Structure 1
Amino acid sequence: MSLSVALDVRAELGECPIWDADEQALFFVDIKGRALHRYRPDSGEHAVMTMPDEIGCIGLRKDGSFIAGFRSGVWLPDSQGNRETKLADNPEDQRTSRFNDGRVDLAGRFLVGTIDEPKDGGKAHLYRYDRRGLVTLASGLLTSNGVAFSPDGRMLYHSDTPTFTVWRYAYDPARGEATDKTLFARLEPAKTHQGRPDGAAVDAEGCYWTALFEGGRIQRYASDGRLLAEYPVPARCPTMVCFGGADLKTLYVTSARTGRSGDELTAFPHSGSLFSMRVDVPGLPESRFDPSV
């Protein structure tokens, strides 16, 4: 299995690919490009919705609209990306903090984290948003990333990218509480690359897939933390993975090109593009945000 270019979009900072089974479409964001993309693989149709603010992540809602984390806060954009309702402010200093990676849990809550852009104070957090408002689940982070759940929703995975670590929690889907934090995986940087865990997804066998930013590859881990496989990506900075297609057996990978050197972009001209490959084990369907939970 190998990854190839699915959409030669060359985003500045492509992130948060998510498959909408109802629309048979892939959505993803370009954080630095302030855009939400919709891609229909069957027809090749590609639409770009301009955002007024840096958009870090999205989750699906039942009516085809979204919940999203922006620099400014958590919003409800409609199906065309127009922001309708602000649910919560970003409680951190928005000059140096924005919402980053997020995902909807099985009950319909939105888990979303922030990035401490100077990466010098551990000021980022992982939050849960539901009808009770925005609540902190983890603190002392540099870049909250890699949110994913086990197939039964009772295990939460979460990474802190600059520290090269992935954590695992016991998660109560009935209450949205994360406990028993344990180390799941710690990567060791090499002289030739600084591959560190970015966005992630879990497949139907409960294996955790993560993109390695500045590592040029993606990895698949067993639920006990054993590294099972890794696959090279035609970009130095893959950012996140997701499963799509009618059978959820197409793995999609977003990537970044912002801030990369000229030499790197010459070596990896498709940096920022969307990549894909077929896999043997399907992914999990995405949950949809439920404001009543």
Structure 2
Amino acid sequence: MSEPESVGARVLSPHASELGEGPVYDPIDDTLWWFDILGKTLIEHRFATSETKVHELPFMASAMGLVDADHHLIAAEDGLYLRRIGDGNLALVAPVEADNPATRSNDGRAHASGAFWTSTMGREFETGAGSIYWFCRGEVRRLFSGLTVPNSICFSPDGTTAYFTDSRAHVLHRVAIDPATGLPTGEPEMFNDHRGKKGAQDGTVCDVDGLLWNACNGMGRLDVYAPDGRRVRSIALPVSRVTCPAFLGEKADRIAMTTAKEGLSPEEREREADAGRTFLLDIGVRGRLEPRVALG
């Protein structure tokens, strides 16, 4: 494949995260939300005013599901919480590995059925400490275990396929799921083999055409995979530690990308002055808005 394209990504806001993750766009109020996992903060950017707010959290959190105009579901280090947007009030909805202080939440995404997939991982990247869970209407089920850094959770446009990876194993998987429930109906199979290649497959979103837009962490790229698993496009970002993309806008036709400073040496941090900031890419994608999570 040729060199990654340059599309002129621009910084969305001046806020820089140590570990930016989990961006989600809410069309109700034209707002992008994302987390600084290590900073224990939730960041809010309102496009109408170009204002960015930073909300302190009492724990590490990493992923969000939209619920309604007044609430979000967030995946935190000990479970899933309902957060009231107006005042930040948090209420535990379902514990997830609350009895295991060695793990925290990581990736997560809503399915069109109302289900929410979320993952856990070891705080020190312990091998095999991570799992992927399914949540819907108060019920939690563990789907896959023995993973190290579960990532890339996303779903095909028709809701019949889920994708995920273990960023340390460098294989992107797909698994057949029931479109009515978001639960697996088969066993995971290889979708893309990234072993032996540079960078780690991190967060992913899937567009209306079934293309997967994947953050290649460590290489500063947004890679695009066709439904047959081939990498068909790469887009260059101005920093190396890219973590997760999100579609945004009324037509979901733009992309935001969170990034991180975690893992960079002092010299690299000085060289990558915008590391940890969230970028906006105006590249005319055919994205999809996130579905709502069903709580009851």
For normalisation by structure 2, the TM-score amounts to 0.93
Match of 2:222 among 218, 232, 236: 218
1:81–1:189: structure 2 CA closer, same or farther, 3 Å change rule?
farther
Does the CA-based 8 Å contact 2:78-2:98 persist in structure 1? no
What SS does the aligned partner of 1:257 have? Answer: coil
1:188–1:8: structure 2 CA closer, same or farther, 3 Å change rule?
farther
- Give the distance between the partners of 1:121 and 1:259, measured in 2 at CA: 18
Match of 1:252 in 2: 256
Match of 1:163 in 2: 169
**Aligned-pair CA distance for 1:173:** 2.3
Is 1:181 aligned to residue 185 of structure 2?
no
Match of 1:27 in 2: 33
Match of 2:145 among 139, 143, 167: 139
Instruction: Return the letter of the residue paired with 1:249.
Output: D
Match of 1:200 in 2: 204
What SS does the aligned partner of 1:265 have? Answer: helix
Instruction: Return the letter of the residue paired with 1:216.
Output: G
Segments of 4+ in structure 1 off by > 6 A? none
**Aligned-pair CA distance for 1:82:** 2.6
Match of 1:267 in 2: 271
Match of 1:241 in 2: 245
- Give the distance between the partners of 2:263 and 2:99, measured in 1 at CA: 23
Root mean square deviation of aligned Cα: 1.6
Match of 2:11 in 1: 5
Match of 1:75 among 78, 81, 87: 81
- Give the distance between the partners of 1:272 and 1:208, measured in 2 at CA: 23
Which shifted more, 81-90 or 58-67? 81-90
What CA deviation, in whole Å up to 9, does each residue of 1:260-282 have, x standing for no partner?
21111122110000111112332
Unmatched 5+ stretches in structure 1: none
Does the CA-based 8 Å contact 1:204-1:281 persist in structure 2? no
Match of 1:109 among 115, 122, 128: 115
What SS does the aligned partner of 1:288 have? Answer: coil
**Number of equivalenced pairs:** 289
Does the CA-based 8 Å contact 1:49-1:81 persist in structure 2? no
Match of 1:64 among 61, 70, 73: 70
Match of 1:279 among 276, 283, 289: 283
Instruction: Return the letter of the residue paired with 1:115.
Output: M
1:274–1:265: structure 2 CA closer, same or farther, 3 Å change rule?
same
Match of 1:229 among 206, 229, 233: 233
What SS does the aligned partner of 1:289 have? Answer: coil
- Give the distance between the partners of 2:242 and 2:37, measured in 1 at CA: 14
Instruction: Return the letter of the residue paired with 1:228.
Output: V
Is 1:209 aligned to residue 213 of structure 2?
yes
- Give the distance between the partners of 2:102 and 2:86, measured in 1 at CA: 28
For normalisation by structure 1, the TM-score amounts to 0.93
Instruction: Return the letter of the residue paired with 1:91.
Output: E
Does the CA-based 8 Å contact 2:114-2:294 persist in structure 1? yes
**Aligned-pair CA distance for 1:253:** 0.3
What SS does the aligned partner of 2:12 have? Answer: strand
1:233–1:176: structure 2 CA closer, same or farther, 3 Å change rule?
same
Between the aligned residues of both structures, percent identity stands at 28
What SS does the aligned partner of 1:177 have? Answer: coil
